[in-house]
Amino acid sequence: MVAVLAACEQTAPTKSAYSSEEPIGKTAPASGTAGPDQSRVMEELSARSRIPVSELRVLLGDCSRTQLAMTLCASRNLVAAELELDAEREAKRASVVPECRAEMDRAHAGWKAERDRLCSEETEEDKGGSMYPMLLSSCKTAATRARILFVKEAAACPGER
């Protein structure tokens, strides 16, 4: 059991993984494969922002027009990356023993807390400014895309597959 749990441990990426610049208006998945359904992304973004999908479509029409549009585009990119990560995690979880699933879930929760902490630190000097939400979302998106690649490449638990 200890070997199974040890094989499932996943570490958080280093701070350097948060620094890559991603185009604000793009939602290309990290893996080069098809990402989450855009209607699902829009529904989730609408739920998080409390802006109706019809209004989001207008605001997202030109991601460089206003700071609000840039912020919403960065939020959309984060939602798309988080949905893709959730799908990758679920695919990986389906192929492992329950003990490993529990360890994977604990590791993911730890990674997410560390991502949020590091991105908050990285954007601290911008706090209170109009660009802060966009910068925070962009940081989290870069880290989440790195995590997608990590999850895809992580080995399954011993004895599984």
Res. 22 pLDDT band, cuts 50 70 90: very low
Res. 102 pLDDT band, cuts 50 70 90: confident
Rounded Cα–Cα distance for residues 115 and 18 (Å): 8
Res. 34 pLDDT band, cuts 50 70 90: low
Residue whose tokens read 């990356």: 81
pLDDT in tens, 4-16: 323 333 333 333 3
Q: What angle do CA 86, 91, 92 make, to 5 degrees?
A: 100
User: 10 Å Cβ neighbour count for 149?
Assistant: 14
pLDDT for the residue numbered 6 = 34
Res. 138 pLDDT band, cuts 50 70 90: very high
pLDDT for the residue numbered 60 = 95
Both tokens of 126, joined, read 């911008």
Rounded Cα–Cα distance for residues 57 and 107 (Å): 35
Res. 108 pLDDT band, cuts 50 70 90: very high
CATH of region 36-151, choose from 3.40.50, 1.10.20, 2.30.29, 1.20.1270: 1.20.1270
Asked whether the beta carbons of 133 and 73 are under 8 A apart, the reply is: no
